[in-house]
Amino acid sequence: MPNMLTLALVVPCYNEEEIFPQTAVKLAQKIRALQSARLVSKKSKVVFVDDGSQDKTWELIAEQHRRCPQIFSGIKLSKNRGHQNALLCGLLTVKDSCDAVISIDADMQDDITVIDGMVRQFLAGCEIVYGVRNNRQTDGLFKKITAQAFYKLMSLLGVQTIYNHADFRLMGRRALDALAEYGEVNLFLRGIIPLLGYKTGVEYYTRAKRLAGTSKYPFYKMLNFALEGITSLSIKPIRLITLLGILLLLVSLAMIVWSIYRYFSGHTIVGWASLAVSLWAIGGLIIFSIGVIGEYIGKIYLETKQRPRYIIEKLLNK
């Protein structure tokens, strides 16, 4: 078995006390099944990344490591750094000790049965294999509409993403080494990873309902996540503001010509209402434009600080 693939499953966790026992059992069973099928080596493991949880998530991770250190490892961040930073921490921490990494959320909504197909595609030459939902039947109407709008908006603004793909994916060591070269603080992995290149594959699956606990991504977090993705990977919003400014300039020139014509034709220009509306519209546009530009300036400010994206407090490894 020395030449077999060594696989790591990286699982970011934040307040997953309710569902963690089920997650640990299912992932351990999957690792053992892959080993029995001789798809992965005995060194393959599950790595939980505790993103500053406020419940007993870390204690449960430590307990699983104590019981079965050959399968379970744990990483504890010093504070909550967000899902993307926790995921990146897990990927970069294990990349030198394995041949491939599969990232998966702790809620077990992603179908782990397709992991076999991911591994086979990697062994066949794919460096990155995306887990992609084949439908959104488990989503409510509002979530379905907003999710579809998110992907379409990202595409419209020039951000390359995989439709209906979240963070369930396999990455080989070459892809992980390439990812490590990206040093930005403002992370949007769904947009960064397609930029890496390499040969890719897709495994389609049906997303299940959450077994326990609650979603860690309410609407306001999803909205912030979408804004993060757009402003981290696209400058089209600034270009759209420029085009809008040019359009308003042309409109204002046309209004000047029209006003001069009305003046010399003897008509009284009456229009306090239209003037007030114009002032409100232009004022709102200016504030909106400043806000968009300020969002980019804020990101530049954070990037220039070069602060660490995460700090590891504890590491449990065999």
In the beta sheet, which residues pair with residue 69? none
DSSP state of 71: T
| Alpha carbons 159 and 152: distance in angstroms, whole number | 10
Strand order through the sheet with 45-50? 200-205, 128-133, 165-172, 100-103, 7-13, 45-50, 72-77, 312-316
Output phi, psi for 292, to 5 deg: -65, -45
pLDDT at 263: 62
> How do beta strands 312-316 and 72-77 pair?
antiparallel
List the structure tokens of 173.
């060591």
In the beta sheet, which residues pair with residue 76? 50, 314
In the beta sheet, which residues pair with residue 103? 10, 169
pLDDT at 1: 41
pLDDT at 183: 81
The stretches of 10-104 forming alpha helices (DSSP H) are 20-36, 57-67, 83-94
* pLDDT tens, residue order, the chain (318 aa): 446 899 999 999 999 888 899 999 999 999 999 998 899 899 999 999 999 899 899 999 999 999 999 999 999 999 888 888 899 999 999 988 889 999 998 888 888 889 999 999 999 999 999 988 887 666 666 666 766 677 676 667 666 777 777 789 999 999 999 998 888 877 778 878 888 888 988 889 887 776 655 555 555 666 666 666 666 666 667 667 767 766 766 676 676 666 666 666 666 556 654 665 566 667 667 767 776 777 777 777 666 767 788 888 888 886
The model carries a pTM of 0.70
Contact 47, 11 (CB under 8 A): yes
Using DSSP, state whether 209 is helix, strand or coil. Answer: coil
Contact 116, 37 (CB under 8 A): yes
Output phi, psi for 13, to 5 deg: -130, 135
Contact 222, 149 (CB under 8 A): no
Amino acid letter, 129 = V
